[in-house]
Chain A
Amino acid sequence: MAVLALPATPADAILGVPPTRVFRPASLDEAEEAVREIARDGLRLAFVGGGTELDLGAPPSALDAVLYTTGLGRVLEYAPLDQIVTVEAGVPLAALQARLRGEQQMLALDPPWAERATVGGVVATNAFGPRRTRYGAVRDLIIGVTLVRADGTRAKGGGKVVKNVAGFDLPKLMVGSLGSLGLIGTVTFRLHPLAETSSTVLFPQVTPVAAGRLVLEMYAAQLEAGAVAALWTDRGVEVGCRFEGFEAGVRQQRDRLSSIAQKLQMPAEVLDGSSADGFWRRHTAAREAPASLRAKIASQPAESPQAAAEAWAILREALQAPRAVLYPTLGLGFVAGDVPEAGALILAIARARAALALHGGHLILHAAPAQVRGQTDVWGPAPAATFLFRRLKDALDPEHRLAVGRLVGGL
């Protein structure tokens, strides 16, 4: 059964680079066969899931074919009592969550565009949302993977038990790989119970410095926030701290945070259960709203409010309708907006990078107009370990045919 190569259309281009053909396998077997066929022809290939983060990374330096994973849509094994699930890469995250919710469980990943983002794409881009504060990132939740290497070899790593140290950790190697080491075919995740209840303490108008102070006070008071997000607009900064868990613990923590707020003379509002939806919807909207520029900023967590404020002050000058989301417990945030003039933005990015570097941090472009990409490296300076990235690429994709040129260091 040969997998049909279909002619590509302009809509299949990745960052303006058009493939000549596309594959839409309906099963992992078909996907493997397609990859073999592509290997036989020596073609350069990229994998696409929901297409929500295709702008992350540099444009492919060569591209002949695109393989869509959306046909790999099965939940292969769901064991609620063992709190694990194995799914094919093309399953949309929201669809998976809906299934898990039936058993009062979740995959503790809440990145944007969950309706369209596929689990394979979430792994390949290391996508995350506010829950990362409590549950960690993809690397902390992925426990198994089946991948198809550039030559069509199917291999698995990890397994379906939460604790397992047998062999090299291939699942983690796939995280953030943008499909450049192989097709992520199936993924096994550990799951968590849905919280009984939640409560958000909202600080409608704070300074970045106060937001930082708040986080330190929470640690001092041994409060365990499930998520903390700061939303930045031209009108100011608002911060939401969410507690999740059993009723008694949630109530006690939000009350304590309210008293801390009083002590610090920071106006705060308690929003129990769904009354906080408004804030968290604003948060998601800020991350999802279309923008020609989206940049991820990173620094040491305790310095992140200050670092983000500096990057914000620089970048907003070069953006229209600028906005930002900061996760101060993580040291990560996103700045977004439209670009009236590429030249000004290029300079602003360089200055923001310099400012972040003083905090040990960095800036990665998740979306940027072509003129900006042409003049600035989307990844920024390559880390010292880039020679190891290259050797890994050589080891698993020796002909450099997968997602070529998309990764840091031109890999």
Chain B
Amino acid sequence: MSAPSAVSPAIPTPARPVSAWVLAQLGSIVGPQHVLSDRGALRTYASDALATFAVEPGVVVLPASTAEVAEVVKVARSAGLPVVPRGSGTGLSGGALPVPGCVLVGLSRMKRILEVDLANRWMRVEPGVINLDVSKRIAPDGYYYAPDPSSQSVCSIGGNLAENSGGAHCLKYGFTVNHVLAARLVTYDGTVVDLGSAVPDTPGFDVLGVLVGSEGLVGIVTEVTLRILRKPEATRTFFATFPSTTEAGHCVSEIIGSGIIPAAIEMMDRLAIEAAKAATGLDWPDVGAALLMDVDGPLAEAEHTSQKAVELARRTGALEVRVPKDEDERLLMWKGRKSAFAAVGRISPNYLVQDGVIPRTAIAEVLAEISRLSQKDGLRVANVFHAGDGNLHPLVLFDAKRPGEEQRAEALAGEILRICLRHGGSITGEHGVGADKAPYMGEMFSEADLDTMARVRCAFDPEQRFNPGKVFPTPRLCGDRPGIYSPHPAELSGLAERV
């Protein structure tokens, strides 16, 4: 649950700074100007977009190549320091939140597009490349990269990979994991290994499938081969308003039940519409709920499915159906949707972004439950979400200046996750578990489930060098083989010490 607009917390400083030996080693690998250890810089990197959590890293390193990343990891290892990878820092679950005294490895300098192969429909990029820049590069050729998180103009491909990020158009096209063909990984001991391939069905376990969504816990990704798609011939969009989220939820079920696979189908409730209007100046009416939907594909298919979907919207109680008159108006509608998180800042001093999943058919019921909770607690909740796959994003509004309100907002956001679980859903659909939701993992998974996942993590990183303390609710050692720590010679001679 993130609070992009929450008050800055006090940032704890690590008990001991990173030793001069480590700083010198890192400087010799990436160049001293790319090793940041002054207080100002360390504060800058103390949080991701989950600003309620902040920890100063021991040092920030900005490598420029796979080889540099590997050397950096080796130094961190020999000094016994944890390593936290970081992309653009837009994560909403504290995935890139520093661990006290860690080496924070920022990938923002690695942003080259290395190779484009249109005939085979893939593109090889460095992890710091911004999501939208992938599509921009191939747009002139009529291709695009499908996963489109709302943060796509700032978030990195490496972060997308680590979080298995989704977006509005993932309903039809799938998530990051369905669009990654291969990745280069630096593991805990600095080994560089390629997982997957642009050629399908390499023998062995689907380690690439495990890597995607592993939240920076198994290594640092330094290269990614992405699947790219030919643009669909036509896209048809409509915006429909409803008296309440009940009718809108029913409409979603009817459309999907009719055999249509929309490219995207997004829902906003009254409060979210109000916020989007305040932020963009869109002339949307004041209604209980709205749906924004795209269908795409070959022209005749898109025409047919959009007509059919509009009919279904009318039949399920739409008050009004608007079709954008041109591409500009269409983009404006989508801007209204994509800016909805930030827009909530217009109607509330602070808010938390929650991310939970329920079966699509439970949308109306769950929103009603959330609304009851919201009334009981006296806190407003705005809903703007990926309705097609039941991925809710309740925004819990609060005022941090009122004593205790932030805690109550946190508690309410937590209750929402429990509602999702009671309906057979998940505690996160795209923002990840990170530092934020680790405590809830035990409510979704059994001890045996978590043990099995921990074993998988340990197979990649037996020392838990990467992102320790994230995802898993309780610390666990890797089997009966605790971290194989061997002191560095410099350390033995008293030049360095462990933090």
State the A residues within 8 Å of B (CB).
Answer: 79-84, 104, 126, 136-137, 139-140, 147, 149, 153-157, 159-170, 172-173, 175-177, 181, 192-196, 216, 219, 222-224, 245-253, 296, 298-303, 330-332, 360-362, 364, 379-380, 382-389, 391-392, 394-396, 407-409
Contacts and interface: CB of A to CB of B under 8 A. Distances in A.
Contact of A81 (B198, B253, B301): B253
B174 A140 contact: yes
Interface string B153-194: 000000000011010001000110110000000000000011
Nearest to A216: B119
A224 B212 contact: no
Contacts of B452: 147, 149, 153, 155, 157, 170, 396
Contacts of A82: 359-361, 390
B298 A169 contact: no
Contacts of A384: 193-194
Given A166-B433, A396-B452, A331 B231 contact: no
B33 interface: no
A173 B345 CA distance: 41
B48 to A, nearest CB: 16
B199 to A, nearest CB: 5
B270 to A, nearest CB: 24
A170 B444 CA distance: 14
B426 A164 contact: yes
A299 B424 CA distance: 40
Nearest to B449: A155
B301 A173 contact: no
Interface in B389-428: 389-391, 424-428
Interface of B: 117, 119-121, 142, 163-164, 166, 170, 174-175, 177-178, 193-195, 197-207, 209-210, 212-214, 230-233, 253, 256-261, 297-305, 308, 357-361, 386, 389-391, 424-433, 437, 441, 444-446, 448-453, 455-460, 462, 471, 479
Contact of B301 (A84, A147, A167, A252): A252
Contacts of B459: 388, 391-392, 394-395
Nearest to B93: A165
A171 B195 CA distance: 18
B206 A175 contact: yes
Contacts, number: 263
B223 to A, nearest CB: 13
A250 B304 CA distance: 11
B314 to A, nearest CB: 19
A385 B451 contact: no
24 contacts: A82-B361, A136-B178, A161-B390, A161-B424, A164-B428, A168-B453, A173-B205, A173-B210, A176-B201, A176-B203, A222-B233, A222-B298, A223-B298, A224-B297, A246-B308, A248-B301, A248-B304, A250-B301, A252-B301, A298-B200, A387-B193, A388-B459, A391-B459, A396-B452
A194 B455 CA distance: 39
8 A-B pairs with the lowest CB-CB distances in the bound complex, closest first: A249-B301, A172-B209, A193-B259, A302-B119, A252-B300, A222-B233, A155-B452, A168-B453
Contacts of B428: 164-166
A81 B361 contact: yes
A350 B230 CA distance: 36
Contact of A126 (B201, B259, B305): B201
A156 B445 contact: yes
Given A219-B230, A249-B304, A379-B203, A169 B297 contact: no
A160 B120 contact: no
Given A248-B303, A298-B200, A364-B203, A79 B441 contact: no
Given A126-B201, A165-B430, 17 more contacts: A160-B424, A163-B386, A163-B391, A165-B164, A167-B450, A169-B214, A170-B449, A222-B231, A246-B259, A253-B300, A253-B301, A301-B121, A331-B120, A332-B201, A362-B199, A380-B203, A383-B203
Contacts of B256: 81, 83
B430 to A, nearest CB: 6
A403 to B, nearest CB: 12
Contact of B300 (A170, A194, A248, A407): A248
Contacts of A408: 203-204
